[in-house]
């Protein structure tokens, strides 16, 4: 069993709080991703679990044992670093065998275990090479292999794909998925890349300035972001935000433009004097201009810029003076300078309290 339990874990560097106390249980065999921008505290959290950083507050348990004061090598964890951290003068075999030799594992067993993992990772032909004679992807595979041979209870990954080019990152991402399916080892993975988080994670922990902003499955954090920060961080291109305020009988209007909306589709705005509306670029469709007069979710828009991405395109629109990014499928999209109609999917609308940043509850869902 390798449940990892963080109980009111926190980290201070002198007077600076890098990680505010939080509770989290990582289930046995779960792939958990810590996601957030640079400096949000995700590496510090991972390093506290690894034992590379002391824990200022709270309790860390791995497999039911308190680990706060346990030596890193005795925690049953193996870590994979962004910069691979391989020994440059040792062969691939020796890099992978190092920890086992230190544990005085018999030579024939080391041969067998390293051989098996090398086979699994496609490294068999490179075992005698030094790291300098390997590509970035192969080096990272060696680093992963070195972690696997130790048969840890928990894998810790610190931005392991960040040094690879875009194409290789996609491939390694898939390999990591397959590896996790095969090994089923509890894994904690740090990244600032939301695509990596969405594709790899069973659950994502999104961190913002040392605070846990939301914990949820990829679908939950995408569909129901708990805060404006999460809403803006998950999804690419980012969600459109418009600040609106009550406009008497009409409904709601923007403070800075003539954008107005008659209905908020069931959000409980209580007595708020301002609301931040969130609309994902993929939740807006292009419709014939003036085709749906009377539909409160249809708007006229001017195309400021149209970017063809390949399978789809991004339209940079002005909607009653508000900038809005829309993602449309296909190559036959309308061009820059044209006027179009758009329709926002009401069920996909998001709304936030601009003061607290928190998502507004729904009183009813349309």
Burial (CB count <10 Å: 0-12, 13-18, 19+), residue 56: middle
Our CB check for ligand ADP shows the closer of 18 and 80 to be: 18
CB closest to ligand ADP, residue no? 43
Q: Least CB distance from residue 36 to ligand ADP, whole Å?
A: 6
Our CB check for ligand ADP shows the closer of 195 and 347 to be: 195
One residue of 1, 16, 270, 288 binding ligand ADP per CB under 6 A: 16
One residue of 15, 38, 273, 364 binding ligand ADP per CB under 6 A: 38
Phi and psi angles of residue 194, each rounded to the nearest 5 degrees, phi first: -65, -25
Residue 321, token pair as written in the block:
């003076």
36 binds ligand ADP (CB under 6 A): yes
160 binds ligand ADP (CB under 6 A): no
Closest CA to 127 of 148, 141, 108, 106: 141
CA separation for the pair 240, 279 (Å, rounded): 5
Our CB check for ligand ADP shows the closer of 47 and 173 to be: 47
51: left (phi over 0), alpha (psi -120 to 50) or beta: left
CA separation for the pair 111, 118 (Å, rounded): 10
Q: In Å, how far are 51, 63, 72, 358 from 54, measured between CA atoms?
A: 7, 19, 11, 32
Our CB check for ligand ADP shows the closer of 46 and 123 to be: 46
Query: Are 233 and 37 in contact, with CB atoms under 8 Å apart?
Result: yes
Number of residues that bind ligand ADP (CB under 6 A): 11
Binders in 56-95 for ligand ADP, by CB under 6 A: none
Of 33-41, 59-67, 165-173, 337-345, the segment contacting ligand ADP by CB under 6 A is 33-41
Query: Are 14 and 69 in contact, with CB atoms under 8 Å apart?
Result: no
Our CB check for ligand ADP shows the closer of 1 and 16 to be: 16
CA 78 to chain centre: 21
Q: Least CB distance from residue 40 to ligand ADP, whole Å?
A: 4
10 binds ligand ADP (CB under 6 A): no
Our CB check for ligand ADP shows the closer of 26 and 40 to be: 40
Residues at the interface with ligand ADP (CB under 6 A): 13, 16, 18, 36, 38-44
């Amino acid at each position: 069993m390798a449940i990892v339990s963080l109980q009111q874990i926190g980290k201070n560097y002198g007077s600076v709080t890098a990680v505010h106390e939080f509770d989290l249980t990582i289930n046995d065999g779960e792939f958990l991703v810590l996601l957030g921008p640079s400096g949000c505290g995700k590496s510090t959290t991972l390093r506290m679990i690894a034992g590379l950083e002391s824990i200022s507050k709270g309790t860390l348990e791995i497999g039911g044992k308190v680990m706060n004061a346990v030596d890193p090598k005795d925690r049953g964890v193996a870590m994979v670093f962004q910069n691979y951290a391989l020994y440059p003068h040792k062969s691939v075999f020796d890099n992978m065998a190092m920890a086992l030799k230190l544990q005085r594992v018999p030579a024939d067993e080391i041969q067998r275990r390293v051989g098996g993992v090398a086979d699994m990772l496609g490294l068999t032909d490179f075992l005698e090479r030094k790291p300098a004679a390997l590509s970035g992807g192969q080096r990272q595979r060696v680093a992963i292999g070195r972690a696997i041979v130790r048969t840890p209870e928990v894998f810790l990954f610190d931005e392991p794909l960040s040094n690879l080019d875009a194409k290789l990152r996609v491939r390694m991402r898939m390999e990591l998925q397959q590896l996790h399916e095969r090994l089923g080892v509890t894994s904690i993975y740090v990244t600032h890349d939301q695509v990596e988080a969405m594709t790899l994670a069973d659950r994502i922990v999104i961190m913002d300035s040392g605070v846990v902003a939301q914990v949820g499955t990829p679908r939950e954090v995408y569909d129901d972001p708990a805060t404006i920060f999460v809403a803006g961080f998950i999804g690419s291109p980012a969600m459109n935000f418009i600040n609106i305020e009550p406009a008497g009988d009409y409904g709601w209007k923007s403070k800075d433009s003539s954008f107005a909306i008659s209905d908020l589709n069931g959000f409980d705005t209580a007595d708020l004097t301002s609301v931040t509306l969130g609309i994902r670029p993929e939740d807006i469709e292009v419709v014939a201009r003036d085709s749906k007069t009377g539909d409160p979710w249809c708007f006229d828009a001017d195309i400021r810029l149209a970017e063809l991405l390949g399978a789809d395109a991004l339209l940079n629109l002005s909607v009653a003076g508000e900038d809005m990014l829309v993602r449309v499928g296909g190559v036959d999209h309308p061009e820059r300078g044209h006027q179009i109609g758009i329709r926002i999917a009401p069920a996909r609308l998001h709304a936030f309290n601009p003061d607290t940043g928190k998502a507004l509850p729904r009183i009813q869902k349309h």
